[in-house]
Amino acid sequence: MTRNLLIAAAFVLAFPGTLNAQLFSAGDVDFTLTESLYADWHNDKAYGNGEGAYDYFDMKSRLNLEADSPWLQAGLRLDAAGFLGPESGAAGEAFDSDFDHDVTVEKIFFRTRFQRVTLEVGDVYGCLGKGVALCIKKMDELSTDTTLRGLKLTFQQKEVGVTFLGGLANVVNVGDKVEEFLPDPNDVVAGAEVRVTPVSSLRLSAHGSVLVDERDLSIPDVPVLIHAPEEQEPLSARRSILSVVGPGLAVSNLPVLGNLMAEYDAMLQTFEPLGDEPTPDLFVGQAVYGSWTRGFGIVHLLLEAKWYDSRLPESESQTNFMGTKVIGPSGESDFVYYGVLPPIDDEHLFVRNDRPYDVAGGRLRGDVEVAPLSGVAFASYTHFVDVTTGNDAMGDYFVRHGTAGWEQRLDSLSIVGNLAGGYRQEDFHFTRENMWHLGADVQFPLVASHSLQLQGRMENYDRPDEGTEYIIAQASTTYAFAPWLALVFNYEHSDQPGPHEKGDFYSGEAIFRFMSGSYFKLFGGSSRGGLKCAGGMCRTFPPFEGVKGELTLRF
């Protein structure tokens, strides 16, 4: 048996107990065990170059053990990753330099409550206000799962609430996007919020946060060198201190005003030289977010407004208050979120602007209920512009985006569907991009517990300045036998020019559920990759061709 096969066998055998584990109790303490096992086969020769191109197999495990009692909650998560690839030649050397096996205690926490006070120690999550100042949360266990390794203290007494959290930033070291080892940034992050509710319809709040990290900013055009590998000596070192402070206001269910929400954040970023330079650089910015909702019988209105201005110079365009980048040994990087921007435009289009904190604008949406047809007609318009100064040489930046659609419900037949389309225009750096899109989604039952869902979206892009036009399309069909089985068939198409993956992509996915909270998921085929967003957090995935498997057992 070869060395790599021995490693793979040892990796799989390291978790035999998960298959036979069971929920048990000791006194008043209940224990829960969850094992998630992910296995991928990448067979598109997209890794390495020339003779060093290779395919590889990877396996990742997330083992969670939680204890729950009336006086204490605790949890432990053990992550493991193993890789199999070519063992010799240029491909083997490239593979060995890119990937390494890893086993680590990724998360550990203890939580207890003393009357009105809740104390958490270890890896903690938490958001302040709308999340601009600070938002540490989990989107998935594979990669987007940042915590603060420290403590969180929450106090709640009738009209007054206080939250404090702080610690060192802890990230998933081996994820599904960047599968090589990414070091923990260990940035010092802390924040606090005070909330007061004098009456049931009014809430006032104030919050603040601070982030301290060290970065190499000696090369202005390479802002990704925020956390360089240990073996790389920075040419000059400066400590970056980011501070955010501001108030918040929320008014609900007023007869005339409806619901109002507003938040203001003052942002300060200081670059302190660690050498002999006496004066630090200071950049000041601000963020404003507000929303208003009101119902007028069958008409419902939503108005959102934002003004984000970081006032950072162009060379710091990727050094913003959303977070930081971590870099692996080969230069692969991933973004770590410490804050989120409340999305206004479609999330998958939201971060096209490479300066997300230097725009101002808003969105207006109206919904009209059409009771005789059991449907809702809706329309929205989004507009935002660049607010940076001294940027005439780069050209104006603005976005206009209008959408309209229809949502249909036939409760007697359990049918739900929607149809929406729109037009988006973006001017950026003397380049105009026009895009119109059309999407539809319908879900309906077949017989008994069987159902079918059809979904599709097409985007047509036109760049008249460059004379290019291309289409990105996606369609899927989902058959479900609730709650045990789901089969998904996907199709994607893209003829976008440039370094993006072009062509047709076909894939299938099967999800089998068994026991309580346990399932097996199998994916096979190819996917285009691209930008995926959720809750203001966005990540760009590379194209994939191969097989993915996921097994989650919960006891």
Residue type at 443?
A: Q
Three-class secondary structure assignment of 84-97: ECCCCHHHHHHHHH
Higher pLDDT, 254 or 505: 505
* Beta-bridge mates of residue 167: 150, 189
Residues in the chain: 555
| Sign, Cα dihedral of 347, 351, 355, 360 | negative
The pLDDT tens digits for 288-344 are: 999 999 999 999 999 999 998 876 654 443 445 778 888 777 777 788 888 887 777
Confidence band, pLDDT 50/70/90 cuts, at residue 164: very high
Inform me whether the pLDDT recorded for 231 exceeds 50: no
Q: Output the pLDDT for position 485.
A: 94
Kindly state the greatest CA–CA separation across the chain. 76
Burial bucket for residue 26 (CB in 10 Å: 0-12, 13-18, 19+):
exposed
* Whether this model's pTM surpasses 0.85: no
Inform me whether the pLDDT recorded for 395 exceeds 60: no
Q: How far is CA 371 from CA 375, 376, 409, 540, in A?
A: 6, 8, 10, 41
- Tell which phi-psi region holds residue 536, choosing left (phi > 0), alpha (psi between -120 and 50) or beta: left
The pLDDT tens digits for 165-224 are: 999 999 888 877 777 788 888 889 999 999 999 998 999 999 999 998 765 444 333 333
The H-or-E segment that residue 121 falls in is strand 117-124
**Most confident by average pLDDT, 199-213, 383-397, 417-431:** 199-213
Q: Output the pLDDT for position 323.
A: 81
- Tell which phi-psi region holds residue 392, choosing left (phi > 0), alpha (psi between -120 and 50) or beta: alpha
Confidence band, pLDDT 50/70/90 cuts, at residue 489: very high
Least Cα distance to 136 among 128, 145, 126, 144 occurs for 126
- Is it true that the peptide bond before 483 is cis, omega within 30 degrees of 0? yes
8 A C-beta contact, residue 285 and residue 311: yes
Q: Output the pLDDT for position 311.
A: 65
8 A C-beta contact, residue 364 and residue 380: yes
Burial bucket for residue 272 (CB in 10 Å: 0-12, 13-18, 19+):
middle
Here the tokens at position 337 are 């979120």
Q: How far apart are CA 55 and CA 75, in angstroms?
A: 36
Place of tokens 């994939």: 544
Q: How far apart are CA 250 and CA 341, in angstroms?
A: 18
Domains and CATH numbers, the chain: 1-112 (no CATH), 113-554 (2.40.170)
The H-or-E segment that residue 540 falls in is strand 537-541
Burial bucket for residue 485 (CB in 10 Å: 0-12, 13-18, 19+):
middle
Q: How far apart are CA 87 and CA 474, in angstroms?
A: 38
Checking 92-96 for CB contacts under 8 A at 24+ apart, the result is: 92/54, 93/52, 94/47, 94/48, 94/49, 94/52, 94/53, 94/54, 95/47, 95/48, 95/54, 95/56
Place of tokens 């980011």: 242
For 376-415, letters b (16+ CB in 10 Å) and e give bebebebbbebbbeeeeeeeebebbbebebebeeeeeeee
CA dihedral 541, 542, 548, 551 (to 10 degrees): -20
267 alpha-carbon distance from chain centroid? 22
Least Cα distance to 190 among 149, 138, 248 occurs for 149
Q: How far apart are CA 82 and CA 10, in angstroms?
A: 10
423 phi and psi angles, rounded to 5 deg: -135, 135
For 151-171, letters b (16+ CB in 10 Å) and e give bbbbbeeeeebbbbbbbebbb
For the beta carbon of residue 45, count every other beta carbon within 10 angstroms. 11
8 A C-beta contact, residue 395 and residue 386: no
Three-class secondary structure assignment of 29-48: EEEEEEEEEEEEEEEEEEEC
By three-state DSSP, how is residue 10 classified? helix
Sequence-distant (6+) residues with CB within 8 A of 432 are 425, 426, 463, 464, 465
Tabulate helix, strand, coil % of the chain (nearest 5).
5, 60, 30
Q: Output the pLDDT for position 334.
A: 80
Q: Output the pLDDT for position 359.
A: 80
The pLDDT tens digits for 3-60 are: 343 333 333 333 333 333 445 677 788 888 888 888 888 776 556 666 667 778 888 8
**Most confident by average pLDDT, 31-45, 89-103, 216-230, 369-383:** 369-383
Q: Output the pLDDT for position 47.
A: 62
Least Cα distance to 53 among 62, 45, 44 occurs for 45
Residue type at 307?
A: W
Least Cα distance to 213 among 239, 244, 182 occurs for 239
Least Cα distance to 360 among 403, 310, 317 occurs for 310
Inform me whether the pLDDT recorded for 517 exceeds 60: yes
By three-state DSSP, how is residue 401 classified? strand
By three-state DSSP, how is residue 44 classified? strand
